[in-house]
Structures are given as C-alpha cells and as structure tokens.
Chain A
C-alpha cells in the first residue's frame, strides 16, 4: 500500500469523476493530484522497484529515482493547476480525459521497462486526443485524428524498438539505450515524434491550437515532457541531440513571428523550449542534464501560464487571432499582468523561472566548446523574447484597441494563473529548492553580475528592436492566414497526389473499357456473320455468346492439357 504506484490514484479519480457531478466532482478533481503529490513526497523515495510479470516477462511497474520523482512532482503540480483552471467546465469527458492523461504521464515516468512504458505511451495518446475532440468542431475532429495518427505511430516505433531491443539484449529494462543499434534508433524515433523533433512536429502545432480552452493547458504539460524525460533516460549524451535541439530552438521562432493564432504561436514556442531541453540532453554533462530537467520544470509552469492566459482570452473574447485582438488590458487587467509574468519567465528575465533553468544549458554549451551553437541558441533566446515575451501580450492586450470589451477571466482561471505566476517567481528568486530536487550532483548558481547584466542587455535590446521595427512600420502585421508547414505534405501533397493517381487510374480504366467493348463488338459482328451463327443455339445473342465463351474455355482447357503434358 505504501508503495502504491501513483498513476492508480489518478485512474481511480477519473472513475469517480465519471460517476459524480457538481461540487463533489470539483473536489475530486483537486484532491486527486493533491493526495498523489503528498503520497509522492512523503511515501516514495528513490530506489523503489515494484515488479509484476505478464506471461514470462518480468516487468517493472514502478522504479523511482530522482529523475522520475522530479517529473512526477511536476505532473501533479501541473494537473492541480490545470484542474483549478478547468473547474468551470461541465463536460465530463474532458475531466475524465484530463485525469487519465495526467495519470498516464505519471505511469510513463515510473515505468521501469519498455513494455510498461509503451502501455502508458499509448494511454497518453488515447486519453489526450479527447481534449482536442471535445472542442466539438469538424476542424478539431480532423486535427485530432491527425494528432492521434502521429501518436500511435510513435507507439508502434516504441513497441517495435522494444521487441528488437529484447531480442538483442535479452532485457526490457528502460535505462540508457544509446544509438548504436537498430532498436536504439527505433526507440529514438518513437521518443522523437513525441518530443516534436523537426519534421515530426506538426502534430503539435496542428493539434494543440484546436483543443478546448482548458484542453490545451493539459496538453502542453504532459506529452512532450514525458518525451523529454524518456530522452534524458535513454539517450543522454548522444551528440545528434544537440543539433536536433538547436534546430528545434531556432526554426519555430520564424513561424511564431508570422503566425496569427496566438495559441499556435505558443505551440511553436513550445517546440522552441523543448529544443533547449533536447540540446541539454545531447550535451549530456551533469550541468546540462540538470538544466534540461530544470527547464522542463519551469516550462510546464510558465508555458501553462501563457496557455491559460490565452485560453482566458479565447474564453472571454471568443477569438484568439492576433489580428482581431488588442486593447484587452482594459477589460482583463488581471489576466494581462499574469500573462506578462509568464512572458517574462519564458524570456528568462532575471528573477523569473526561465532564467535559472535555461542558463544552465547555455553555460554547458559554452563550457563544452560549442561556440557557434551557443550563438544560435543566443539567437533563439532573443527570439523567444520577441515572439512569446512581447508578441503574445502585446497583440492580445495592447497594440491597437480592437474595441472588444469583455469581462475579466473567471475566478477559477485567475486562481490557477496566479498560482502558476507565483511559482514562476518563486522558482526564479529561490532556485535552490528546485536545484535540490535535480537528479545530478553539480554546483551551480545563476545569479552573478555578469550573467544578470548580459541577459538584461540581450533582452532589452531585443525589445528595442521590436519598438524600432514597429515604429518604422517594418513589423509584419498580424494577418488572417495559414502558414505552410510540414503538415502540408500530408494534408495537401499526399491527398492531391492520391487523387491524381486515382484520376489517372480511372482514365486508364475508361480507355481499356472502350477498347475492350469495341473489340468485343467487332468479334460479335464477325461471329454473327460466320456460319456458326445460323445454328439454333446461337439464334439469340446471349446463347450465342455463351457458346462462344464455352468454346473459348474448352480451347483453353485443351491448350493447358497439351502444355501440361
């Protein structure tokens, strides 16, 4: 009982939510992550191994160490905050999906073997898609299907990799895997899909903005962070991850600058932030890995906060396009302030959470002599501030007054955002508490004069660039538009080429049919002119044709018989 795997509490919570309603349900929604968190904190220490066996396989349902525990604390926290944020929702399936989803994330980080990991990997996929489908539009339904396809594909790679891995090593234990085997690559691709590696990322930017107001808050917290956790455990120090991570940090910011849907901007910036974590995992030193994990922690809170603030805008204004918003600070001043806290945190302003976690990865890049990559990451850092730190609050709450007058966000949303904002500031000002939870032993302190000064210079002058570009009229205006990304391949190119293929086949079929009928007709004519046509059996065309075909069959038998012997 004491070593109860925490995902079970979430699944029980989900069942109770299913059969309850009103205030009882609200209490269950909040108590579930709360008691799970307390159970984790007081009952579970590093070093627990709980095994079970299916057929002949010895599997590990729960393995605790500092790495899995940190992610588990984070997931309870995220689920608690998202739970408060969604208290006003009456849709049962969203609440059930949210709890099963969070519980599966817990199950995945405690999974000690690849099969258990696979089971939770798929449960994550299946539960989370309901948060997209719950939007109820056809657009969301289709986006959900595409999202699910990617997630299931990731699961297929994971299962295939796990089986090959077992075949090769005779073990299913989920520890360092590395990239020197086929199994390693299969599992790497599985993790890569869920971590939104470049070219495998479109499920995220396609799916997340289509989810419900509260659904996106859940989505942003779990799937990608489970992938980051899995990469940190299985592939730490694989150099290719540095290059993948830098690419992930850099390319989305261009899209984020020109994207109109502000929740999609945040989806791109989510990939950008995962890029920092993936880079840290690739470097693989204790400092870099701690940085990656710490940044995952900060990111869940501040990205959650930003998604919550944009969700509040969507909820109140009914719109989340930068082109149609503006001036909302007048109606939603509290949401504005809370959004700005999130913006400062993601931009890594000193005293906010992003600063104390991202800097570890930057310092690790420097000290491992990746100078040019460090420059690119510095560019990405400036870019984050530009699109997430300035663009999001500016176009939603300031810019030109759109004339939209609405109400402040509902109280439960404000409470959830306030908790997240306070956590951002707490982690930013008191980083020692987060650092104490980090898995690897290393001395690091982010606050020194040089570091604070250079970060402020970088950020202030990024902001200055924004002001200058705006004053010069050079800043790209927010426009109603769709920007082509990788999903174009399967949403446009693939269907178009498939249709084209079908059309070509159809045309081929038609021409074949016409050739066949004309030759048949000419054969019929020749036959009716022949002497055989005079016989009684062939008086009418059907019988005549029957005789004709029977004779052909007989000839064929004869030929086969001759050739056979």
Chain B
C-alpha cells in the first residue's frame, strides 16, 4: 500500500480547498435560485401547508436537521461496542 501511495502523489480535485469552496458556492447559489423561483413560479397547491412560501425548502432543511438530532439521541440508547453480540 505504501509503495502505491508514493506513486500516487497526484493532486486530486477535492484535495484543493478552493475547489471544495467553488463547488459549495455553486450549490449555495442554486439553493438561493430555488427559493427565489418559489416567488416567481406559481405552484399548484393541494394542501394548506403548501401555501407557506418556500415550504418545501424549509421542510427539507428542518426535517434533515431533526433527523440527525434525533438519530444522535437514539445513538445514546442503542449504540453498543462492535463485538456486542460476540460473533
């Protein structure tokens, strides 16, 4: 493995922090455009909640943060050592 490592000194795309930043900026811009689009494009609305501006964006963000926070709490209850079942 180490000999392969030495040969592999090539710098890859995400090794440069500025590339990571660039990708993230593109991503943030797309997020902003999607929220702005919510005010420009008329959405069909079936349920009351959907009337909230940028409902889906807010819901997606909140849902995922909630998911991770709850999952971390669940970890406190269910997490055991890797060899817990002894096999």
Given known A405-B8, A481-B81, contact A398–B75 (CB-CB < 8 A): no
Contact A454 B61 (CB under 8 A): no
When C-beta atoms are compared, the residue in chain A nearest to B49 turns out to be A375
Bound complex: CA A329 to CA B19 (Å): 15
Chain A residues in 8 Å Cβ range of B34: 453, 456-457, 460-461
A383 an interface residue at 8 Å Cβ cutoff? Answer: yes
Chain B residues in 8 Å Cβ range of A491: 85
Total interface residues in chain B, CB < 8 Å: 55
Contact B60 A465 (CB under 8 A): yes
Chain B residues in 8 Å Cβ range of A492: 84-85
When C-beta atoms are compared, the residue in chain B nearest to A143 turns out to be B87
Contact B47 A382 (CB under 8 A): no
Chain A residues in 8 Å Cβ range of B15: 401
Chain B residues in 8 Å Cβ range of A253: 67
A77 an interface residue at 8 Å Cβ cutoff? Answer: no
Of A20-28, A218-226, A471-479, A539-547, the segment with at least 4 beta carbons within 8 Å of chain B is A471-479
Bound complex: CA A375 to CA B60 (Å): 11
Chain A residues in 8 Å Cβ range of B69: 474
A449 an interface residue at 8 Å Cβ cutoff? Answer: yes
Bound complex: CA A481 to CA B27 (Å): 33
Specify which of A258, A398, A453 is in contact with B43 (CB 8 Å cutoff).
A453
Chain B residues in 8 Å Cβ range of A484: 77-80, 84
Most buried by A among B1, B24, B35, B82: B82
Chain B residues in 8 Å Cβ range of A458: 56-57, 59-60
Bound complex: CA A142 to CA B56 (Å): 45
Chain B residues in 8 Å Cβ range of A386: 64, 67-68
Bound complex: CA A523 to CA B80 (Å): 56
A410 an interface residue at 8 Å Cβ cutoff? Answer: no
Contact A469 B65 (CB under 8 A): yes
Chain A residues in 8 Å Cβ range of B57: 457-458, 460-461
Of A37-45, A366-374, A428-436, the segment with at least 4 beta carbons within 8 Å of chain B is A366-374
Chain B residues in 8 Å Cβ range of A329: 12, 14
> Smallest Cβ distance from B49 to chain A, in angstroms?
7
Contact A460 B4 (CB under 8 A): no
> Smallest Cβ distance from B62 to chain A, in angstroms?
8
Contact B72 A476 (CB under 8 A): yes
Contact B79 A258 (CB under 8 A): yes
> Smallest Cβ distance from B31 to chain A, in angstroms?
5
Question: Which of B1-53 touch A at CB < 8 Å?
Answer: 1, 4-5, 8, 10, 12, 14-15, 24, 27-28, 30-31, 34-35, 37-38, 41, 43-44, 46-50
Given known A257-B71, A462-B60, A462-B64, contact A485–B78 (CB-CB < 8 A): yes
Specify which of A403, A450, A453, A460 is in contact with B31 (CB 8 Å cutoff).
A460
Contact B74 A254 (CB under 8 A): yes
Chain A residues in 8 Å Cβ range of B48: 371
Question: Which of A335-391 touch B at CB < 8 Å?
Answer: 366-367, 371, 374-375, 378-379, 382-383, 386
Specify which of A366, A398, A467, A469 is in contact with B27 (CB 8 Å cutoff).
A467
Contact A482 B59 (CB under 8 A): no
Chain A residues in 8 Å Cβ range of B50: 454
Specify which of A378, A403, A460, A461 is in contact with B5 (CB 8 Å cutoff).
A403
Chain B residues in 8 Å Cβ range of A469: 64-65, 68
Contact A450 B44 (CB under 8 A): yes
Given known A330-B12, A457-B54, contact A475–B79 (CB-CB < 8 A): no
Chain A positions within 8 Å of B, measured between CB atoms, are 138-139, 142, 253-255, 257-258, 329-330, 366-367, 371, 374-375, 378-379, 382-383, 386, 398, 401, 403-405, 448-450, 453-469, 474-476, 479-485, 491-492
Chain B positions within 8 Å of A, measured between CB atoms, are 1, 4-5, 8, 10, 12, 14-15, 24, 27-28, 30-31, 34-35, 37-38, 41, 43-44, 46-50, 54-65, 67-72, 74-75, 77-85, 87
